[in-house]
Amino acid sequence: MAEIMKFVIVGNGIAGVSAAHAIRKTKRDASITIVSDEVEPTYSACVLGHYLGEEIPRDRVFIKNLSEYAQDGIRLLSSQKVTGIDAEEKKLILEKADLVYDKLIIATGSKPFIPPSIQAERSGVFTFKSLSDTDKLVRWKGQSAVIVGSGPIGLEAGMALKRRGYRVVVIELLSHILPKVFDRRPAGLIKEILERKGVEVLEGERLVEIPGTDTVTGVATDRRTIGCDTVILATGMKPRGAWVFDKIKRGPCGGISVDEKMQTSLADVFACGDCVDARDLITGRPVSSMLWHNARRQGEIAGYNAAGLSRQYEGSLNATGLNLFGVQAVSIGISGGGETDGFAVIEREREDAYQRVILQRSEVVGVQSVNWPEDMGHLLASVVRKEKVTSLHDALTKRRPPLRTMRPFAHVRT
């Protein structure tokens, strides 16, 4: 009788759970254990803003409940901290025990980056990444908030607090908001939408300090002091996994380096999700793409390959969608077109709406849209398939190959 294979997954987010499901589809009798340092079962970080903004109840954030793990034959070890790995002995070291594995999948996710110059350990200062972070903000009784950082996470937090009745100010260090996602022109329209809804946006300002001792009373930038009782630091994310970083090859963005099968530099160890540097679909370069749909697909690929199949990851696609008080803003692929040599740009606009298609050597490599939901399916397909077009009309009417080429991107949220 064949010995049962032991699969251990570190991380209970969408990447880890997707890996577990892929293994179970392939190995019906395998032992699958998920180790998580969180108390809760798997939840969707994509909807935490809706929970904070009182649009959905807390129980709507969960993807799986505890009984479903048992139904799927998955052992969940919650509130468990991993402290190390013995790759030669194939042993994962926890605070209170060790786990022996045949195949290990690292899906530890990411954590907020806090600028080292900022004293964040005081009442009223928050991050906005996890369900625990969101629960703390829900319990907090504030009235005025400063959001430091204007990426998608910062803006979602700001909009949610605005719905809760807060006065909200957003501070962005660079010259326009959403600098990694949108170019200057669509970002300017997004800023106008936010300001019309009462969110103050300050661009080109650097947070200098959070004054006070025990409780927040305001923030100081290089231009002014802003009174507030709540500060959310949305200053970026970085990969998690300190327990393995000194034993494994890392990529240029700081994540774990993986190949197209999500295999790491350690034998029988795979990695997926926010903790990895994987190949970008458009550029082919290693990127840290901390997006839900990429993590989900990477988890599937890691799980299938750990279970003995041969699947290749198509590449990470930068695709971000924001709901700005009912107005949709979407960015797919490369941004920076029109502000970078070698790109051509096709633009169109109407009242309170804008669309920008970015071309490189006649290939569609990026799309940015504000309040222009139609045509996004066509344009997403153009980016994924790297289609050559001569005009926007060509991109929207081009005859396409079978839809199976889009299946890996079925969960891209635009």
Domains 6-111+237-306 and 125-233 share a fold: yes
| Two tokens, residue 259 | 């190949």
Reading the block at residue 102, the tokens are: 């045949």
pLDDT for 374 equals: 82
CA distance 50 to 59: 12
Q: Which of 207-216, 253-262, 319-328 has the highest mean pLDDT?
A: 253-262
For residue 264, which amino acid is it?
T
- At 397, is the pLDDT very low, low, confident or very high (cuts 50, 70, 90)? low
The CATH class that applies to domain 319-409 reads alpha beta
Looking at the DSSP bridge assignments, the partners of residue 325 are none
The pTM score is 0.93
Tokens in use for 143?
């009235």
Least Cα distance to 125 among 243, 271, 230, 244 occurs for: 230
Distance CA 18, CA 11 (A): 11
15-57 tens-digit pLDDT: 999 999 999 999 999 999 999 999 999 999 999 999 999 999 9
Task: Indicate the residue type of 398.
Answer: K
Both structure tokens of 264? 């790491």
Q: Which value, to the nearest 10 degrees, does the dihedral of the CA atoms of residues 222, 225, 231, 235 take?
A: -10
125-233: CATH, from 3.40.50.620, 3.40.50.2300, 3.50.50.60, 3.30.70.3270 = 3.50.50.60
Give the number of other Cβ atoms within 10 Å of residue 332's Cβ: 29
Q: Reading across the β-sheet that carries 82-86, which strands appear in turn?
A: 82-86, 91-94, 98-100
pLDDT value at residue 113: 95
- Minimum mean pLDDT among 90-94, 126-130, 294-298, 339-343: which range? 339-343
Homologous superfamily of domain range 6-111+237-306: FAD/NAD(P)-binding domain (3.50.50.60)
Question: CB–CB of 360/346 below 8 Å?
Answer: no
- Alpha carbon distance 283, 290 (integer Å): 17
Structural domain boundaries of the chain? 6-111+237-306, 125-233, 319-409
Q: Which residues does residue 279 pair with via DSSP β-bridges, in sequence order? A: 286
Q: Which residue has the higher pLDDT, 140 or 344?
A: 140
What are the respective helix, strand and coil percentages of the chain, to the nearest 5? 25, 30, 45
pLDDT digit string, tens, across residues 236-250: 999 999 999 999 999
> How many CB atoms are closer than 10 A to CB 242?
12
In degrees and rounded to multiples of 5, residue 61 shows phi and psi of -85, -15
